[in-house]
Structure 1
């Protein structure tokens, strides 16, 4: 048996340092995934509470000129007013179960005065051919709507062009249509009276915990694997040159060229 003095060589010291760094990184990434899991559980608890709560007036939750808060998302609200179909905005590239379609946003002039943007639902349509004229009209006259508060999108996808967008922003739509709007918008749940042709309702959020738990375990497994590999190679070297596998010994000696590996493999087999 050999002594462990070989651990003080440059190659082994660098190898040990690499394993320590990889293990520390795997540990941190695992913790990050578990922190994300806790954050998701907290968010899901808020969403679940908001989704199942009794609806409150939209004016009690949303403000004109101010974005909806993250804690308000998925709260159920209700409003009374009249739709303005002429200002309908189509939200493109809203695929469901592999089928192309669009969401339909119609401004609702509330009894309080400001406009509430209502995503009335989804309809199958070609993303390129969908047009406001193709959309089934909302109920005429005074309407009572109930829906879930959603936060505004951001970035270039919210730019309004020919009454169509890729992501809903109350600020962008309000500016484009010259409307005084509440911050945020709602996904429609019910409207009274009911329309002649109803759209498909918005999909509620996924309240599962996601893959974070298994991702965290996976990162920790990688860390354990790195440590195991280090001690396996250490043991293989400690057994002595006469018992060290040819490829491990060549790695320790720095042999890296494929031709050299093939030559030594032939010697090993002989």
Structure 2
């Protein structure tokens, strides 16, 4: 009913984060976005290290890696739906360098700016949520504005700017696979750093793999799976395993491989 009345949930569950990118201001959100929560703590006038939020992100990353992006993120699902619209599809391999942009956004807009650019009482803005995040305008801004006349009356240039970002992202998602996830999402950047150590991972059987490249051609995240099965861009969707003619790729949930690497190193 919050969608009809232009309200957001303010229950105690809002102190808890969910793994994916979901806007705190969405009328349907029962819990908080980890990126928004992290900025709220960093930008507070009484700044303390965000132990809970960072600990939660490390736990989710070490457990799942970018499985969160593939299966638990509402905005990722939104892009998946848009990409199903019949239209010519384009590869992003030639602009792979843009995948590094999200790490810069994580460092600058999520951490550095909220910490350093503050007002007279020492509070910083949630720069990523406020100026970039298209999920916020889709899940929170637009539904609340449609339902609440007071909010509509206060809309200005920032709402227009964020709406343009959302529109651009939506159009790109029709032609390119998950452009926001690949290029802009700071949460995807963090989970990508965890991919190589996450318990949920891809495993390539070297005895079966013939390096035919079928898995790489099937991967819409532009990963050469047989070479780097746990690349930072892999969202564990399973398309590569389905495309492999030799059944050499499996999705596993184990720390065995990690232990083996440690033993080899020592």
TM bucket, shorter chain:
under 0.3
Higher share in helix: 2
* TM-score (structure 2 length as normaliser): 0.24
Higher share in strand: 1
* TM-score (structure 1 length as normaliser): 0.24
Q: Which structure has the larger Rg?
A: 1
